[in-house]
Structure 1
Amino acid sequence: MKDQIDSKLITALQQNAQATAQELADMLGLSPSQAARRRQRLEASGVILGYRAQLDAGALGLGVQAFVQVQLLNHDPTLSKSFNKLIGSQPEIISAWAMTGDADLLLRIYSKDLASLNTLIHDILLAHGAVSRVHSQIVMNQIKQDAPLPA
């Protein structure tokens, strides 16, 4: 069961996942061993799924971010499974959600340029037999960066 100290620990780790047990202890008013045990408990319970580096897409040559809505022809389980596998195999598609409404899926994509995005959409996504149509939206400016989850 998560308490107020766990919430503060989660917030601190989302700001700096490399914080040492001593740094966490100082922030939380605990001993380093207590802070470490709490972190381990949150990891073991699945609250903390892992740690990763935050990267600059532009510095990696990924100049275009887009959201692509995908409408499927139908919800045949075999076609859906095949399309989901296709999505998982494309490194440019960094996340995908099943949605309610007109679009069945929403994809977040980073590509090096518009030509690469066009190739992904037309030659890979639309070429799959499960897809009825796609609607893409190019990100002009990201107003708010991906934020930590509220703890």
Structure 2
Amino acid sequence: MVSLDRMDRRILEVLQQEGGISNLELAEKVGLSPSPCSRRVKQLEESGIIARQATLLDPVKLGLKLTAMIQISMDRHTPDRFENFEKTLEGYLEVISCCLITGQAADYLLEVLVTDMESYQDFLLGKLTTIQGVTGVHSSFVLRKIIDRTSIPLTHL
């Protein structure tokens, strides 16, 4: 774990809210001159705290109106079975996230984005259930996202 001072936390808070901000604007917002601000951002990137920068898109405006949360059960809990499943999922662009989980009957929890129920059915029957080892699929559909954070709160660090 890397130690963050107050200025590092402030830089990270601004970058999480305004990822496309210029170094000059960032420096002004956090109260630093541009050169030290740039050095701090570079250090945060090199330490791995800033993993990457991304632009967030609105899936609904792109026609991706259906979000499914899918619990997957596997027939065997072996490294090769899990590796094959995970490698196969990497090629499925519908999958937004995949987590190996515990505490449930399922082994994986997927978040999948598709245009509609028909495209979900195509994904489910044409891709997901054809992966070797998948024995159980339980789907839930998101009606509305109540909290959808992309930032990590830093105030408690």
Shift of 1:94: 1.1
Superposition map of 1:1-151 within 5 A: 1-101=3-103, 102-151=105-154
Q: After alignment, is 120-129 or 66-75 more displaced?
A: 120-129
Shift of 1:77: 2.2
Q: Which amino acid aligns with 1:84?
A: E
> Which runs of at least 4 in structure 1 moved beyond 6 Å after TM superposition?
none
Distance in 1 between residues matched to 2:95 and 2:61, nearest whole Å: 18
- Give me the TM-score of the superposition, normalised by structure 1: 0.94
Distance in 2 between residues matched to 1:18 and 1:128, nearest whole Å: 39
Give secondary structure in 2 for the equivalent of 1:27: helix
Shift of 1:53: 0.8
Distance in 2 between residues matched to 1:45 and 1:80, nearest whole Å: 30
Any unmatched runs of 5+ in structure 2? none
Q: Which amino acid aligns with 1:11?
A: E
Q: Which amino acid aligns with 1:61?
A: G
- State percent identity of aligned pairs: 33
Question: What's the RMSD between the two structures over aligned residues?
Answer: 1.2
Distance in 1 between residues matched to 2:132 and 2:22, nearest whole Å: 50
Cα deviation, 1:67-96, whole Å, max 9, x if unaligned, reads 101011111222221111111110000110
- Give me the TM-score of the superposition, normalised by structure 2: 0.91
Shift of 1:146: 2.6
Shift of 1:39: 0.5
Give secondary structure in 1 for the equivalent of 2:84: helix
Q: Which amino acid aligns with 2:51?
A: L
Shift of 1:105: 0.3
- Number of matched residues? 151
